[in-house]
């Protein structure tokens, strides 16, 4: 029975797509009731959101990172 289930498993296929094509997919997807991706999300993918290693870190800035759970306590 395990072998049958293994045969029908979907494999993820990652293909590089140019951003103009992503914009078209986002435009079409926005017409759906619950779009899987939007044009705004495609625009955000085009921006680099990783901080440079040359920038100061938490210690230099005097910041102590907190888990999200502790930050949200008492907010609800």
For the chain, how far is it from start to end, CA to CA, in angstroms?
47
- Count of beta carbons in the 10 Å neighbourhood of residue 45: 13
pTM above 0.85, yes or no: no
Average pLDDT of the chain is 83
For position 5, what pLDDT does the model report? 53
Lowest mean pLDDT among 4-8, 24-28, 58-62: 4-8
Q: Where are the domains of the chain?
A: 17-51
For the stretch 7-18, pLDDT in tens is 556 677 788 889
């Amino acid at each position: 029975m395990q072998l049958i289930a293994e045969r029908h498993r979907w494999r993820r296929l990652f293909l590089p797509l140019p951003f103009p094509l992503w914009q078209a997919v986002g435009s079409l997807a926005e017409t759906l009731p619950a779009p899987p991706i939007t044009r705004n999300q495609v625009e955000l993918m085009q921006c680099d959101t990783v901080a440079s290693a040359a920038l100061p870190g938490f210690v230099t800035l005097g910041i102590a990172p907190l888990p999200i759970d502790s930050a949200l306590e008492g907010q609800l």
